[in-house]
Amino acid sequence: MGLAAGWAATLLLIEPVVGRMSDRAQRRLGTRYPWIVAGALGAATCFICFPLVVLLGAIAFLRWAISP
pLDDT digits (tens, 9 = 90+) for 11-22: 788 888 888 887
pLDDT digits (tens, 9 = 90+) for 30-65: 778 888 888 899 999 888 888 877 777 777 777 777
Q: What is the DSSP string of 8-66?
A: HHHHHHHHHHHHHHHHH---TT-SSHHHHHHHHHHHHHHHHHHHHHHHH-HHHHHHHHH
Alpha carbon distance 19, 41 (integer Å): 19
For 51, how many CA atoms within 13 A lie in the half-sphere containing its CB?
A: 4
